[in-house]
Structure 1
């Protein structure tokens, strides 16, 4: 038999064999690759020493520069390298073709990453797992249920009225801030959009308002916002620390738990309020109906413990995406008046004299989609994603990656790769409208891809499109200072390193 035909012959014979022989099929993949090239091991993979990586991380670059370490790692070691972060050894992949190889081998129940400190907290408090922390069949069941209401276009369109009501409050809040300042300058627009994002996702989850866009934000809402911010900072520290170290250095872990305690308490209070209102309606003989996610989860028979955990995780997952994308959008549009004017013209042309767009309107705005896509390429909310392939060894880029290895997908590096994008650090939305510039489909994945892609993508995009359209109708935006460059920083998520200030001129 031709040696190159051996792997296929082995696969065909193993498919009908007992489960005890299935391991043979896994090794046939290795044989296939080894006939054309030598498969290398992790020991042969380049990368910094543990001490060198810690030096870069904490002293040379800093935790806030994790996204920059992707660029540095690719420059020094090539498209794949390994590094150790505390007790965690991870393989970094910074080339779209290799990222595609990883994602095409992730299996039926892909595991994003361990998020060990998040899971440790839930076990400590007896909470359930939500969509961000569950794995296996538990994750698949929740994902399938939520996908019906969050990924189907028709289901998402049903939220445009709810979201437009929140956008109206945002516009009024921006006008109020502008009048208070007199000059039209609004400082720290990310804070305003953070409140807008939280109000929007709360409306979708609870079909009720929590006061984020009021002149004075309720104290409990302000505390929730601060808890999210602090929790993300503490996530990096707690995941780098072995569990036994929490006893010796308790402050980061205790602070991390305190933040989660408040977030669960906040979500539980709003869920219980809605469920109580529904129970009273049943008592009065009224028919139950609703267009908010907590209603769908509770009516699907999901245990209350799981409802609490899923809603809590959806709350925090939806806020930064909206805040970051809108903040960077206004930052770049204020510095590119021609693009701003072209986008405004597109909005006005589609609306034909109306002031409030709906889901079908924004779906017909190609430049709007290109602007948001370009913002998410330059400033991906999640600068790196991760996978843990738990059921098999895989081969990526000629290396054998053992099962249970943490693989970091370096999206920030691939989305700013000059081999993929002309002038990669420049804001050029038209690149997404041109047939001349073709990048690899895995070079920019701000929402991920496949089963583990962002469940709230369509709702987040709709909220951003609606908000940007109406901001453009009401305001011209100009930079506060022409040379006031703002760079991104890592806080688990990618955020502006300092305030973004924009001058709003009413139209």
Structure 2
């Protein structure tokens, strides 16, 4: 009894403390319930690496499969970086239109920082005054309609050259992929630096640059393991490529400055000339340094060359695989040409089926299957979910283009689906995002599409293409090679024959 009495006395003496602790516990539970985030659904993850093991060799396809289980808005963790994956038109619209400002920045990534002078380009620069001023300069001075039209002769001359190469090799096996790379590289070089360059050397350097942008950097997602990038040689290789390109660009700029010193700067201005003029006449509060100029040139080389040639190769491959579509397109361009040796740019507006063919190809094979990652700059409520500040955002444009909710028979190549709708390249149709949308949408659409349309129209007008070694059209290898852009794994090999 004495023990019980002592225990009772002790409990009574502790009663106020127990009540106080209970009160704080209730408050803590209440506080947590009010502040608990309603995060999007997530697949299970592993320690340290998070969900990286679930991406596989084709992240666009793997993420599509995951979205079918977890929904069009899901949260993955790449290392220590929470990453929102959007896989529907509705989710893309919310991110790139409704909350565009909140999702307009970029994450800081190791390799782009090395290759692009601290990400001073348009593609990877974080959102802010620097990026806004730079985009304004590029859109107004480099990619406006008048500027794009001014390079018409360059495009037509290079297309005539490509046609000539094919005519010389009619009946023989031609590496169409390599020819399209050379063609695109020549145009981008002449428009950007005023002349064709050592083709193989520059193509090789561009290939290294683009491949390096596609390589996974451990330090970007698991900062405390950043030493792995140094130990593996990744950072060293990136710095080597950056140094090679920097030396090339230094020579280009020096060549242009000498030309200006000789008094012929206004003769046949290219994009480097224009950028040097902008730099010299800078009337805005903007630090247009040499590194900024180089970063912009790199954007034009990398994005322009890769986007154009991959789009052309995929489209020609789809046409070969679908003879009915090829025949319909050839009938259209033949009627437009009216017997002339070549289709000119002003005639492209009449080519409605041509435009539909290209749009359908871009639906199935968007140049960037996973749009460049964005980063939220503030807390956002997205479709009922809480998206915290600092969340990385990836939009699966490849999956959106094949979404059966939006598209009938989404895996089928049917250009006719684009003949009776208003879908255009203006970034207002979120079920079709080959060039993104919103503030971070691609500013070079006009430059890209006039070149793709002109080249494709003339190629199918002048030639028929068959596959080598008795391969049937439907057996054409369309295997993807995923990177920052979506390429065909195997270069397109064809045997051209004249139509006219």
- Scaled by the length of structure 1, what TM-score is found? 0.81
The change in CA–CA distance for 1:394 and 1:484 in structure 2 (over 3 A counts) is: same
Q: How does 1:28-177 map to 2 (within 5 A)?
A: 44-51=39-46, 57-58=52-53, 62=56, 64-106=57-99, 111-121=104-114, 129-135=120-126, 136-176=128-168
Q: CA offset at residue 92 of structure 1?
A: 0.7
The change in CA–CA distance for 1:437 and 1:88 in structure 2 (over 3 A counts) is: closer
Instruction: Tell me the distance in 1 between the aligned counterparts of 2:102 and 2:193.
Output: 29
The change in CA–CA distance for 1:93 and 1:42 in structure 2 (over 3 A counts) is: farther
For the 8 Å contact 2:259–2:265, the answer to whether it is kept is: no
Equivalent in 165, 172, 184 of residue 197 of structure 1: 184
Q: How does 1:420-459 map to 2 (within 5 A)?
A: 420-435=406-421, 441-459=429-447
Q: CA offset at residue 338 of structure 1?
A: 2.1
For the 8 Å contact 2:364–2:411, the answer to whether it is kept is: yes
Instruction: Tell me the distance in 1 between the aligned counterparts of 2:44 and 2:368.
Output: 26
Equivalent in 289, 309, 312 of residue 326 of structure 1: 312
Q: Deviations over 1:32-68 (max 9, x none)?
A: xxxxxx999666422222229969755x762x30111
Q: CA offset at residue 160 of structure 1?
A: 1.6
For the 8 Å contact 2:113–2:119, the answer to whether it is kept is: no
For the 8 Å contact 1:486–1:500, the answer to whether it is kept is: no
For the 8 Å contact 2:95–2:103, the answer to whether it is kept is: no
The change in CA–CA distance for 1:366 and 1:87 in structure 2 (over 3 A counts) is: same
Q: Deviations over 1:419-472 (max 9, x none)?
A: 11111111111100035999x920111111122111211111111111112211
Counterpart in the other structure of 2:462: 474
SS of equivalent residue, structure 1 residue 104? helix
Equivalent in 232, 236, 253 of residue 254 of structure 1: 236
Counterpart in the other structure of 1:352: 338
The change in CA–CA distance for 1:54 and 1:193 in structure 2 (over 3 A counts) is: farther
Instruction: Tell me the distance in 2 between the aligned counterparts of 1:53 and 1:365.
Output: 53
The change in CA–CA distance for 1:119 and 1:330 in structure 2 (over 3 A counts) is: closer
Deviates more, 1:429-438 or 1:83-92: 429-438
Counterpart in the other structure of 1:233: 214
Counterpart in the other structure of 1:244: 226
Equivalent in 360, 365, 382 of residue 368 of structure 2: 382
Q: CA offset at residue 72 of structure 1?
A: 0.8
SS of equivalent residue, structure 2 residue 464? strand
Counterpart in the other structure of 1:497: 489
Higher CA-based Rg: 2
The change in CA–CA distance for 1:151 and 1:277 in structure 2 (over 3 A counts) is: closer
Q: CA offset at residue 345 of structure 1?
A: 2.2
Q: How does 1:264-283 map to 2 (within 5 A)?
A: 264-281=246-263
The change in CA–CA distance for 1:262 and 1:115 in structure 2 (over 3 A counts) is: farther
Would you say 1:371 and 2:357 are equivalent positions?
Answer: yes
Instruction: Tell me the distance in 2 between the aligned counterparts of 1:358 and 1:258.
Output: 42
SS of equivalent residue, structure 1 residue 425? coil
Instruction: Tell me the distance in 1 between the aligned counterparts of 2:380 and 2:119.
Output: 31
The change in CA–CA distance for 1:106 and 1:44 in structure 2 (over 3 A counts) is: closer
Q: Deviations over 1:296-353 (max 9, x none)?
A: 1110124323211211222111111111101111111111222112212222222333
The change in CA–CA distance for 1:259 and 1:174 in structure 2 (over 3 A counts) is: farther
Instruction: Tell me the distance in 2 between the aligned counterparts of 1:394 and 1:44.
Output: 11
The change in CA–CA distance for 1:304 and 1:56 in structure 2 (over 3 A counts) is: closer
For the 8 Å contact 1:230–1:256, the answer to whether it is kept is: no
For the 8 Å contact 1:332–1:427, the answer to whether it is kept is: yes
SS of equivalent residue, structure 1 residue 224? helix
* Aligned-residue CA RMSD (Å): 3.0
Instruction: Tell me the distance in 1 between the aligned counterparts of 2:112 and 2:486.
Output: 22
Q: CA offset at residue 84 of structure 1?
A: 1.4
The change in CA–CA distance for 1:98 and 1:127 in structure 2 (over 3 A counts) is: closer
Instruction: Tell me the distance in 1 between the aligned counterparts of 2:317 and 2:74.
Output: 34
Q: CA offset at residue 128 of structure 1?
A: 7.0
Q: Deviations over 1:89-133 (max 9, x none)?
A: 20111111111111124455963532511454169xx66712123
Instruction: Tell me the distance in 2 between the aligned counterparts of 1:55 and 1:388.
Output: 18
In structure 2, stretches of 5+ residues that fail to align are: 1-32, 280-287
Instruction: Tell me the distance in 2 between the aligned counterparts of 1:262 and 1:153.
Output: 33
